[in-house]
Structure 1
Amino acid sequence: MYARLRTPPAGKAAAAPGGRGALATITPDTVRAAAAEVRTGRTVTLASPIETAPAPDNPHPAGHRLTSPPEAEAEGAGLHFATDHFGMDVHGDAQSHLDALCHVVYGGTLHGGIPATTVTADGASALSVELARDGIVGRGVLFDIPRLRGVPWLEPGDHVTADDLRAAEDAQRVRVGAGDILLVRVGHRRRRIETGPWDAARARAGLHPEAVEFLAERQVAVLGGDGNNDTAPSPTEGVDFPVHVLAIHALGIHLMDYLQFEDLAPLCEQEGRWSFLCVVAPLRLPAATGSPVNPIAIL
């Protein structure tokens, strides 16, 4: 069905051209309801550590250096400040990041039919990560697909289907609804820790594009994965990132790539619940196509 890329039935999930995309499904009422998910007050990061060393999946690692004080001055008398400089490729295959709605250009347009010419070398004048400047706060739901299948991780190239998502709902006794932040674990980070990095651009587990219909039906606000969310190799001829195209371009769903759920999943298992308050705070980068993020789950 997806041999050629086909936009899923959007229904109520479709956003008006431009606007905030699927973030519009997050309302004061959904935020208040999400706050009620907090029971134990435990907090856990969903971000991978920022890496500064090259690896097969990270050929352009983040750069970090201390800019002051010089070593000769550090032990001297008086006041000194230690300061840093960071630089990173936001849309890499190792660092946790949020994709803005201007990140995907398809057929010469962005989400909502906005012309691709709004993205230039000077930045994006529409649909930048600034749409999320006030933060993304909602009910997070974690689907642990390796747990569902009884394996430690999905092997590169494997797909998470819509049937997998529905089966995870049943097995974990939780239902995804409008305005939720859906997090799908494929075990990418655990595999990377235990077997070492590999070229994830060529081979990785992710969602099958047909699974995006589930996101549309349930009016998901944000999708996050511990991989790229897209499978490689792509199952869609001529389109390398069909999930990105369908979720971001067609439905206006912000994506979070390369998170890690190895701290969260055991807590969910221990507490016997897979929903929680989730807080995502991207940097204020007014013309950027994405941002590093450190999402926090609060149980």
Structure 2
Amino acid sequence: MAVDPTAAPVTAAEFRALYRRLRRDRPDGALAELTPQRVAAAAREVRAGLRVSLAAPVETGEGPDNPEPAVHRMTGAVAGHLPDEGLDFARDRIAMNVHGDADSHLDALCHVVYDGTLYGGVDADTLTPHGADALSVDLLRDGIVGRGVLLDVPRLRGVPWLEPGDQVGAEELAAAEAAQGVRVGPGDLLFVRVGHRRRRAEQGPWDASAARAGLHPRAMEFLAERRVVALGSDGNNDAAPSRTEGVDYPVHVLAVHAMGVHLLDYLQFEDLVPLCGRERRWSFLCVVAPLRLLRATGSPVNPIAIL
């Protein structure tokens, strides 16, 4: 019986060879594929005028996948402290761990340190106590606007979600394309649904740092061949536990550090899926606008799909 390539472990030598094959060194990373012509073409994806968020609500409650939840504090104009007359303002403050396992966020190209460097061979010493001196999320100050494509792997398998630990390979991504009648191309934003959010909603949160569905490292060859600019998932993009020798987050290393592809982690697609099914298409205009944080390694994010 043939071995499932998504179940086979990846040795350290195999991972190094894969890293070398996929490595690209361009100042803006994969964003170079997002030409004005491709942005204009993506705008033509809008036909029904439907808008839907791909982000989950920011969570302020502690849980097994959220030990450091966001803190939301009211700082003015709250019940019991309101003036009887005249003007006042409701005010609040939010603090959060950007790279957690619960909230939707974007990873900047300075997020992954591998062999003492960042993407493009930039010295990791550019990460200082005051922030990132290179490759920060400010590279995306004009946003990522392009054609989004959603590949729904649970739909392909005929299940509500993938179980924690499952991995998705390049062949399965191609099969999802064929089943959905769509093709990922240069400059696209690829979104891969593994059903993490639905499983969490129906069965409750769990320690996603230890067990989650995601892409197999060799699936990154699919992204390289199709020349995508960003990869997003309703999970972490990486599966856990890792089956790559010596590397816990191989997809992060390959996408961010080798290829310069921005990652979007822990999105939610449960509102988008029925719209795509109703409209009978799985591509759309997508607008990703992270906060303008000059020296940050990532940002909370609320991508908008427009069909």
Q: Output the TM-score relative to the length of structure 1.
A: 0.97
Matched, 1:25 2:37: no
Do the aligned partners of 1:140 and 1:182 also contact (CA within 8 Å) in 2?
Answer: yes
The answer for the alignment partner of 1:193 in structure 2 is: 201
In structure 1, stretches of 5+ residues that fail to align are: none
SS, match of residue 190 in structure 2: strand
- State the percentage of identical aligned residues: 67
One-letter code of the match for 2:160? P
Do the aligned partners of 1:15 and 1:22 also contact (CA within 8 Å) in 2?
Answer: no
The answer for the alignment partner of 2:299 in structure 1 is: 291
One-letter code of the match for 1:223? L
Do the aligned partners of 1:248 and 1:255 also contact (CA within 8 Å) in 2?
Answer: yes
SS, match of residue 146 in structure 1: helix
Q: Using the TM superposition, give the Cα deviation of residue 20 of structure 1 relative to its aligned residue in structure 2, in angstroms.
A: 1.0
One-letter code of the match for 1:261? F
Do the aligned partners of 1:30 and 1:179 also contact (CA within 8 Å) in 2?
Answer: yes
Q: Using the TM superposition, give the Cα deviation of residue 83 of structure 1 relative to its aligned residue in structure 2, in angstroms.
A: 0.3
The answer for the alignment partner of 1:282 in structure 2 is: 290
In structure 2, stretches of 5+ residues that fail to align are: 1-8
Distance 1:8 1:171 in 2: 32
Q: Output the TM-score relative to the length of structure 2.
A: 0.94
The answer for the alignment partner of 1:62 in structure 2 is: 70
Would the alpha carbon gap of residues 8 and 231 (structure 1) be closer, same or farther in structure 2, given more than 3 Å must change? farther
Deviations 1:122-147 (A, max 9, x none): 10000000000001000000000000
Q: Using the TM superposition, give the Cα deviation of residue 71 of structure 1 relative to its aligned residue in structure 2, in angstroms.
A: 3.3
Deviations 1:139-182 (A, max 9, x none): 00000000000000000000011011000111111111111000
Please, which of 150, 161, 170 is the counterpart of residue 162 of structure 1?
A: 170
Matched, 1:9 2:17: no
SS, match of residue 200 in structure 2: helix
Distance 1:56 1:130 in 2: 31
Matches within 5 A, 1:36-55: 36-55=44-63
CA root-mean-square deviation: 1.1
Q: Using the TM superposition, give the Cα deviation of residue 14 of structure 1 relative to its aligned residue in structure 2, in angstroms.
A: 2.6
Deviations 1:96-125 (A, max 9, x none): 000000000000000000000001111000
The answer for the alignment partner of 2:87 in structure 1 is: 79
Distance 2:278 2:235 in 1: 24
Q: Report how many residues are paired.
A: 295
The answer for the alignment partner of 1:239 in structure 2 is: 247
Do the aligned partners of 1:51 and 1:95 also contact (CA within 8 Å) in 2?
Answer: yes
The answer for the alignment partner of 1:225 in structure 2 is: 233
